[in-house]
Amino acid sequence: MAGKNRKPLVAVLDWKTAPSSNSGVDIETKVLGKLANVKYFLTDNKDNFTQEILQAEAIIIWQNAIITEKSISKMANCKALIRNGVGYDSVDINAAARTGIPVCNVPDYGTEEVADHAIALTLALTRQLFSLDAEAKKPGWKLVAKDKLRRTSTLTFGVVGLGRIGTATALRAKALGFNILFYDPYLPSGTEKAIGIKRARSLNGLLKTSDVVSIHCPLNEETHYLIAEQELSLMKPSAYLVNTARGGIIKKKAVLSALHKGVIAGAGLDVIEDEPLKTKTEARTPNLIATCHAAFCSHEGMIEMRTTSARIAKQAVQGKPLENVVNDL
């Protein structure tokens, strides 16, 4: 416990092998003021955090840092584990609940950015931007990609998961002229009428019908490998797959194989199972556009995300009710 003359610690935890932050804690320090000391930590071992981290009263977690039951059981002072982002699959939320530690996230900071990124990947694929760029930089170019260029008003854009980001993406695609179809078994009937789109009653139905399939569901036991060999085989050979959600929703081996074999026409992946790509062979997969888990990024979004995380940490230190608790406490 923090002594009378010692401020509580708020730890900002990042993953050493692939850090997400620039190591600054200026925003967090400004929000917390004199209530706590804020310190940035890099770690490369999910089960061997330093005693200083384990003694923190609140821990803000960047996307690559993994928090397991073994570490959670040693967090004697922790009043909140706060995921700096939407997804919280890197935190064992059930173990935290058993220990009495709330897990919180920031569900609304990157909605616009991720939706924009999904549309950017979609247009890069349907308008063959990278192929055209490469061709235009050759002497005496030829329009070899012309047969692959698509008119959006003739295409069906399938959205898997119609939450905040899925809805924002669907509305953007609709504005561009796509015909929108979504699959989300957890939404009530009539949702489609509220925003003027169509509903698929099964994932398989959406996969068979869509020209673009855009993934926007969380990663959990139900959605792990939601898209694998069987699902990819249902898609049109001319269809594109876009993922700006979580890498583990799509089986990496299956999608790379599908691209090599021409099972689908292309994929735009901001997130990849076991990211980043591990070999030159993976990186050279045909018709693959990959970005480095950057869909959530913008200057404005980062400020919004960090401010919200710091505000929740402040609530924890003050013993106030917490925002955005995702585990059952």
Backbone angles phi, psi at 169, to 5 degrees: -70, -45
Cβ burial 225-245 (10 Å sphere, 16+ → b, else e): bbbbeebbebbbeebbbbbbb
Annotated active-site residue in 275, 282, 304, 323: 275
> What distance in Å separates the CA atoms of residue 267 and residue 287, rounded to the nearest whole number?
7
Annotated active-site residue in 83, 172, 293, 306: 293
Question: For residue 230, how far is the Cα from the chain centroid?
Answer: 23
Residue 219: count of CB within 10 angstroms of its CB: 21
Question: Nearest 5°: CA angle at 10, between 4 and 11?
Answer: 135
Annotated active-site residue in 113, 246, 273, 306: 246
Q: Are 17 and 23 in contact (CB under 8 A)?
A: no
Q: Are 165 and 242 in contact (CB under 8 A)?
A: no
Residue 154: count of CB within 10 angstroms of its CB: 10
> What distance in Å separates the CA atoms of residue 179 and residue 197, rounded to the nearest whole number?
8
Ramachandran assignment for 80, one of left (phi > 0), alpha (psi -120 to 50 degrees), beta (any other): beta
Whether 246 is a known active-site residue: answer yes
- 240-243 β-sheet, strand order: 198-199, 179-183, 156-160, 212-215, 240-243, 266-269, 288-290
Active site residues: 246, 275, 293
